[in-house]
Amino acid sequence: MTATLTPTTAVPTTMTTWLPRLVPGILRLHRTALTSVAVIYLAFTAVALTVVHQVGHPRAVILAGQFNGTLYSVSTYVFYLPVLVAVFIGAPMFARPLETGTFRFAWTQGVGRRRLVATTLIVFVFELTVLSIPLGIVLSRLWFDLSPQFGGVWVNHHFFTNPWMLAYSSVIGLLVGALLGVVFRRVLTTLAATTAMMIAIYLWATMVRFFQETLLWFAQRMPSSYAGVPLRNGNYLAHYDYSSVNLYFTDRFGHVLSYPTLSQSQKLALNQDNASELRRYGLHVWQGSLFHAQFHGFLMMWIGFGVVTVIALVVAIFAFIGGNDRLLLRRRRP
């Protein structure tokens, strides 16, 4: 007994023919991952929107103080969303089918593996971008509008919770995990490697001396005011990170003049009585601008993510040269 199988359509040649057909299949195949991403990002957006709504109340000042902690928590967690995306969405994306063997099914379908891989990535990139932007807008608006009530905190708005940074870091996190999955081809190994890679990126952007030196290069080119806070002669920018406190002394234009490294005793004295300690440096007028480590890393996050992505991409390409399979390279014609 044989079922009759009759071709229903012609062989595709153009993108407009196969793309509308392929995307629903990818949505169905990656439904769980796509839904998880949407739920997490929308949940953060909902919490942030709730705060926005509450702050609009006449008792905004009181409520702002009340929600300050919540907002801070949301922003902090949002900072780590790219790590979650990299480890739990990106890493298994290709590592799992390569480990379980289901790639043999997917990569031998008529649409072709390059179209399949590229469209899968594009679908996730599109989703992450679309979800990051409203979340970033809400968070930025919160910090921007409410920064006076939050004591002039402005870094969140300028740095990592801005929509573009959020979208960029989320997408890069996805790509890092996905590319490492192609290289390692084992889920657990890829999870570990991706986690290590993301931690390395974050640490590099916050703790490494090279980063601090690079930060100085950027700081010297910063404007003479930040979010309406003018940096006058004798101002300083205190740079805190997990291991040290460093001072950037600025001129009257706000340009950084020097970058002294403080001894442990000086750091201790600065923490206990910064006014008298600063007088020792000849500072009679001072205005502190606090750089929190995770915030000031935004520039390095761009660079760090970019560097790591390029490295992962190159490694992934080389993994296919003479390896088991060829994903990205053109195959030889007979």
- The size of the chain, in residues, is 334
Minimum distance, C-beta of residue 124 to another protein, in the bound complex (Å): 16
| Residue with smaller CB distance to another protein, 22 or 231 | 22
Residue 4: CB minimum distance to another protein, A: 6
- Listed residue (37, 25, 327) closest to 182, CA to CA: 327
Q: Which is nearer to another protein, 158 or 326 (CB)?
A: 326
- What is the number of other CB atoms lying within 10 angstroms of the CB of residue 50? 14
Q: What 3 state SS string does 46-84 have?
A: HHHHHHHHHHCCCCHHHHHHHHHHHHHHHHHHHHCHHHH
CB of residue 110 to another protein, shortest distance in Å: 4
Please say which residue, 107 or 259, places its beta carbon nearer to another protein. 107
Min. distance of Cβ 192 from another protein in angstroms? Answer: 22
Give contact residues for another protein (rule: CB under 8 A): 1-12, 17-18, 21-26, 28-29, 31-32, 97, 100-102, 104-113, 116, 324-326, 331-334
Smallest distance, another protein to C-beta of residue 333, A: 5
Which own/partner pairs from 288-291 qualify as long-range (CB within 8 Å, at least 24 positions apart)? 288/236, 288/237, 288/238, 289/226, 289/229, 289/231, 289/235, 289/237, 289/238, 290/155, 290/238, 290/240, 291/155, 291/237, 291/238, 291/239, 291/240
Closer residue to another protein (CB): 97 or 304: 97
Whose Cβ is closer to another protein: residue 24's or residue 69's?
24
- The smaller minimum CB distance to another protein, of residues 24 and 58, is found at 24
Q: Closest distance between another protein and the C-beta of residue 63, in Å?
A: 44
Percent helix / strand / coil, the chain, rounded to 5 = 65, 5, 30
